[in-house]
Structure formats: C-alpha cells, structure tokens
Amino acid sequence: MTPRAGNKGTSGSASFAVPVSLTEWEELLRTVSNASGVGLCVLDTELRYVAINNTMAQMNGVAAHAHLGKSVRDVLGDFAELVEPQFAGVISTGQAVLNREISAVLPTRSEPGHWIEHYVPIKDSSGQVAQIGVVAVEITEQKKLEDSFRSVSEKLKAEKKRSHVVAEVGRLLADKWDVRLFPKVSAYLRRILRQEYAALFLHDEKSGKLVRQAIDFPLGKGPGLEISAPHDPAAKALRQRSSLIFSKAQMKGLNSNVTKHFLTEGLQSLCCVPLIRPKGALGVLILGSTRADAFGSEDLMLLNQVAAQLAIALENSRIAREIEQLKSRLGHEKSYLEGEIRTRLHVEGIIGESRALNSVLNKVAVVSDSDATVLLLGETGTGKGLVARAIHATSKRKNKSFITLNCAAIPTGLLESELFGHEKGAFTGAVRQKIGRLELADQGTLFLDEVGEISPELQPKLLRVLQDQEFERLGGIRTIKVDLRLIAATNRDLARSVAEKEFRSDLFYRLNVFPIWLPPLRERREDIPVLVRYFVRKFAARMDRFIETIPTETMHAMVHWDWPGNVRELENFIEHSVILTEGTALRAPLAEIKADSRLVVTSLENTEREHILKVLRDSGGTISGPHGAARRLGVKRTTLQSKMKRLGITPKDYSEPASD
C-alpha cells in the first residue's frame, strides 16, 4: 500500500506540550520510556536514531536497541520516503511540523497503520538544529472504527435509497396498472442501478413466448425481439424462477438471437428477474447496461421487490378485467331479463337485435316517460324519424298528435309560417289564417327533422318556444300558449356549427337536453341479415313474389358493405333486388356494390319498367300462359297488367325493338 500523509487536526490523546530543548527531551524520554500510546524518538541531522522509547519501537516493529545508530531508511524502508522530506524541512527551517497524519504499511506489518506525528527541532546552545524530536500517537484502531462506521453509514444510506425506490414504485403501482407506467418504474430504478435498458416481457400461454409489453431504451437503434428460445436469458430466468445476471461473455456463450441483439445494442451486462405469483410465472423484468459487471448480488434484493410489485399489479389488473367482464355480462343479462319489454319496443321499421340498437332503445325507454327535449343525432338514413315516433308512442302523450316538420324541405321564407302559423293578411298571399305546426302539436309531440337547417333569424323564436312555451303567429299580436314535447333531429355536427357561429349556442343547449346518437348501419352489422330478411319479405309480398332463399355470397357481400346511406340505402337496394328476381332465390346486383364506392340508387320505377319491357319482348308480347311474361316474372296476370298500366307500358313499347 502506498503511504499517504496529510496535516489534520489531532485527537485529544496527541495534544500535549512538546519539548523544545535537549534537556527537556531527555527528561521526557526517561519519564515515558515505557508509556503506552505515545511514541518518542530523537534523530540526529543524518536522520539516525539517537534515542527511542518502547512504544515507538513497538509501532515500528523493531526492538528499541536495534534502532540506535541506524537511519530511518534502515528501519522503516520505503516508509522513509514519506517522512524524510519533512525531517529535512525541519532541519533547514528550524520550524516544527505538528499534527501530521500518516497512513502507511510498515515493513513489519501486513495492514496499513495510521499515526498522528509531530516533528520538532532540537537546537543547541548556538541556536542551530542539532537533532529532531518525533512524537507519534497511533490511531490505527480509531481509524478502523471510523472506517467501519463510515461503511455502515454508507450501507444505511444505500439501503435507505433502495427502500425509498421500492416505496415510490409501490405508490406508482398502487392504482390501476397501465403499461405507460413502466418508464416511470425504470426511471426510479435508474437512480440506483443506472441501467440504459429496461423492458417488461409477459408470458403468452398460447405461444409459450415472452412478448414485450413495455420498454425504456432511449438509445436503442432497432426494434426488439420476442423471446422464444429456451436458452434465451429471460427464458432461463423464467424457467428456473430465479433472478439471473449475465456478463458479456456469458451472453456471447448463449448464442441466441436475443443476446446478439443486446450485444449489437452495446449492452455488456444483463439482469433478468422473473415475475412470480402463486398461480405461476407472469413474465420477466429485464435490465441491461453498457457497463461491464453493472449488476451485483446486492441489487437482486431491490429488483426482486420491484418485480414482486409488478407481478401483483399485473395480477390485480387481470382480476379487475375479469371482474369487469363478469359485471358487464351479468349487467346485460339483468338488463335483458328486467328490461325485455322496455327494450323491445314494437315500432314499425325498427328492426334488429344488436347491442348498438338496444342501447338506443334503452335510452328511448328511459326518456319516453318524461317531457324532456330529445335531440336525435346520426347520419342520414339511420332511422331518426322512426325513433322519434317510438318516443312519442311510448310517452304519456301517445294519444295526442304527433306533428312532423322537415326544416330542410321548406324554403326559409315559408318555414316560419309553417312553424308558427300566420294571420290573414300577414303577407302577400296570406288570404286566410293558418294554424302552425306548434299549435297543431299542442298537448302532443312536435318532431323537427333537420333542425340544423333553421335559419339564424328563426332560431331565437324557436328558443323562446322552448323556454316559455309561447309564441305569436306571423302578423298576430296575441300570445299563444302551447304544451308540447319537442323532438329534434339532425345529421349535422351542431356543436361545430355553434363554434362556427352558424347555430345559436343557447338554442343548442336547449335542444341537447337528452341526446341520442343513432349508430350507422356499418356499426351494427349483425342487424343486416335481419333487416335483409325483413325487407325481402316486405317487398316480395308487395310485388306478389315468392322468394325462398338468399344466396350466401349475396348475404356476405351485404353484411360487409359499409352502406353510406344506412338502412334507407339497404331498403332501396333490397327493393331493387326483389324487382330483378325472377325465381325463388334473391337476385341482388352485387356488381353495383363492388364497383361503386357509393351505391347510386336509380329510379326504381324506371328500373322496374325496363325489366318488364325486356321480359315482354323476350316472351313475344305474350302476357299469360306457360311461356308468358307474367309466368316469367313470377306474378299473376292481373298483377302484371296493373303494373303495366301504372308504368304506362303499351303494346307499342314492347312490340318494337329496344333502341340503343
């Protein structure tokens, strides 16, 4: 061990009056020649021992008489290099060196010793330095005790820091588990372990692989890998159910794709800690470092505690999901049993059993008993008018009037008159008094379809009706009181219209008391087969057709089509299909679905007319009989004749060739 020295404050055992004259030194040596704890010696200017007490001799490990006449280097060996310059300084300057702390391994010792020493010049009668007095107090045991205390203190600080990290991770994971919490867990661990890589892998029971769920590796260059080979580090830790530390050499020895990936990323040491619960191993926590031997056995206690907390959080999350699923299932079963009558409202045209549709019908059942204003939202063709009728039909006003008004179908100038009515002479052409829709709906329900199309000038007047249930007719001065329930519908984004100052916010809030969003057909695909069967029966009966089957390809195509026009588009498409069907299997024009991103619904009357004309031409103009057009179309003769009359088909139309 290399000696070290420094000037430090001495302890109480080394504090005493140091003699300065030769006589005083001789007296001191006689007095404390056998005293323990304080070593004394006198050196001449050639640094040879002139006198020494037993304590100093014991410190040096050489008998007292063996010192006399020998130099410091003879006795202390390399240790002399540490003190000789100090002695030379005392001789040359005549100044004492006090309280000098020295640590060194003496030739006679195997462990370092520690001393506090004083070097004092001893002058002759002329004032010249003739000798040097050395006083030494050994503090080796005291130093050991201090080092021990320091070591214990550092361990306590480290343990406190680890306990703090465990506590912080515990608080972090106390709430619901989310993989987004993992980087925070890694950040807490980095305070102590300074790892660059951290990842959480969970065991997939089906594939047997360890699938990465979360990673914290800001310096990573490439994507991570799944862990499947049994000799991969994490797989070994999971199989052995024990924490494992791998050096760079050990990772190379495994020769797996995962370790090759880690080595390519610059990791030189790895620590894999399994997440164990009573039911089995859930996964592995992996830490990596670019430093060699970054992880030690003392780190495993911390990592095992953190892994246990992660395992508990993951298991709690799984249990919570299972409980939530069970509650949801029980809730649906309870809702089905208790609310079957309420959720299966008998309203013509509302067809389906999907969860989305049942959710709408549940809301209808909830709001029907009240007089609250309802706002129906959804794309065109989703059945907002039918739902409005369902609300009225199941309300306490069901025996009163249900008045409808499509705000988009009436010019702005006439909408106010339609809504509020007018007095005779209120404007040019007002030759008589007119009762508005508001008055007609008194005691009943008013349904305003496309309410988002109401002009800004008319909006405050409608707001007054909602607030005060009163209004005046155009040209009138008498205030009319009404008691009505308002249901509004729109396919516009009213909230956006409010933000763009196109629709009054106060009116929007009045309309939006109980909003019901009607899902588009693409979000309730399970209802499409039911709707298809319903519309096929409906139109087949109307056209006097007998359709027994729907081809699988046809049904599959319709279920997977997005139906931008929703139920209305589906209804028109089925009507079109029934018209085209000649036999007992539905013949649907699937090419139109596949070829066009938005099915263009043409005039059904024109389509039907052209189809009948084609069959009449093919049958040579014969209507009845085994080869007649009626038989080919699958309808009665009288039905076909009725259709021909309605569509304006004459013998001239089918007796001549069709023009190109």
Specify the residue for token string 């093919």.
618
The per-residue pLDDT for 68 is 94
- For the ranges 93-107, 120-134, 638-652, the lowest mean pLDDT is seen at 638-652
Q: Quick one: 513 and 530 in the same domain? A: no
**Residue 65 confidence class, pLDDT cut points 50, 70, 90:** very high
Range of the domain at 431: 355-519
Which of 480, 499, 519 is the last residue before a domain boundary?
A: 519
* C-alpha atoms less than 13 angstroms from C-alpha of 200 in its C-beta half-sphere: 23
Q: Is residue 336 part of a domain?
A: no
For the segment 50-63, what is each residue's pLDDT rounded down to a tens digit? Answer: 999 989 999 999 99
The per-residue pLDDT for 341 is 34
Q: Quick one: 448 and 483 in the same domain? A: yes
Distance CA 115, CA 99 (A): 9
The pLDDT of residue 582 is above 90: no
Q: Quick one: 511 and 569 in the same domain? A: no
Q: Quick one: 97 and 187 in the same domain? A: no
Distance CA 373, CA 624 (A): 57
Distance CA 88, CA 76 (A): 17
Q: Quick one: 506 and 596 in the same domain? A: no
Please give the span between the terminal C-alpha atoms of the chain, in angstroms, as a whole number.
112
Beta carbons of 378 and 388 less than 8 angstroms apart: no
For the segment 270-300, what is each residue's pLDDT rounded down to a tens digit? Answer: 999 999 988 788 999 999 999 999 998 888 9
The per-residue pLDDT for 12 is 38
Q: Is residue 236 part of a domain?
A: yes
CATH of the domain at 583: 1.10.8.60
- For the ranges 45-54, 435-444, 537-546, 603-612, the lowest mean pLDDT is seen at 603-612
Q: Which residues, in sequence order, are CB contacts of 653 under 8 Å at separation 6+?
A: 613
The pLDDT of residue 338 is above 70: no
**Residue 31 confidence class, pLDDT cut points 50, 70, 90:** low
Q: Quick one: 359 and 475 in the same domain? A: yes
Q: Is residue 329 part of a domain?
A: no
**Residue 30 confidence class, pLDDT cut points 50, 70, 90:** low
Q: Is residue 47 part of a domain?
A: yes
Q: Quick one: 367 and 513 in the same domain? A: yes
Residue 403 three-state SS? strand
The per-residue pLDDT for 143 is 86
The per-residue pLDDT for 409 is 83
Q: Quick one: 224 and 267 in the same domain? A: yes
Token duo for residue 155: 């361990």
Beta carbons of 203 and 234 less than 8 angstroms apart: no
Token duo for residue 275: 């997440």
Amino acid at 501: K
The per-residue pLDDT for 642 is 77
Which of 519, 548, 574 is the last residue before a domain boundary?
A: 519
Q: Which residues, in sequence order, are CB contacts of 41 under 8 Å at separation 6+?
A: 49, 50, 51, 52, 53, 56, 67, 133, 134
CATH of the domain at 79: 3.30.450.20
Distances (CA, A) of 172 to 175, 178, 194, 201, 413: 7, 10, 20, 19, 63
How many structural domains does the chain have? 4
* Summary mean pLDDT of the chain: 83
Distance CA 490, CA 306 (A): 54
The per-residue pLDDT for 121 is 94
The pLDDT of residue 3 is above 50: no
Distance CA 510, CA 503 (A): 12
The pLDDT of residue 355 is above 90: no
CATH of the domain at 510: 3.40.50.300
**Residue 629 confidence class, pLDDT cut points 50, 70, 90:** confident
The pLDDT of residue 95 is above 90: yes
**Residue 23 confidence class, pLDDT cut points 50, 70, 90:** low
Q: Is residue 250 part of a domain?
A: yes
* Nearest Cα residue to 106 out of 74, 145, 144, 59: 59
- For the ranges 289-298, 317-326, 496-505, the lowest mean pLDDT is seen at 317-326
Q: Which residues, in sequence order, are CB contacts of 286 under 8 Å at separation 6+?
A: 197, 198, 199, 200, 201, 233, 234, 270, 271, 272, 273
Amino acid at 304: N
Token duo for residue 355: 């969860």
Q: Quick one: 506 and 617 in the same domain? A: no
Q: For the residues 455-479, what does the mean pLDDT come to? A: 89
Residue 540 three-state SS? helix
Q: What percent of the chain has pLDDT over 70?
A: 87
Specify the residue for token string 């201090």.
146
The per-residue pLDDT for 342 is 37
Beta carbons of 510 and 545 less than 8 angstroms apart: no
The per-residue pLDDT for 72 is 95
Q: Is residue 277 part of a domain?
A: yes
Q: What are phi and psi of 198, to 5 degrees?
A: -145, 135
Beta carbons of 442 and 469 less than 8 angstroms apart: no
Q: Quick one: 104 and 166 in the same domain? A: no
Q: Is residue 52 part of a domain?
A: yes
For the segment 171-226, what is each residue's pLDDT rounded down to a tens digit? Answer: 888 877 888 899 999 999 998 888 999 999 998 888 888 888 889 998 777 666 66
Q: Is residue 101 part of a domain?
A: yes
Q: Quick one: 165 and 307 in the same domain? A: yes
Q: What percent of the chain has pLDDT over 90?
A: 37
Which of 319, 346, 363 is the last residue before a domain boundary?
A: 319
Q: Quick one: 129 and 161 in the same domain? A: no
Residue 370 three-state SS? coil
Q: For the residues 92-104, what does the mean pLDDT come to? A: 92
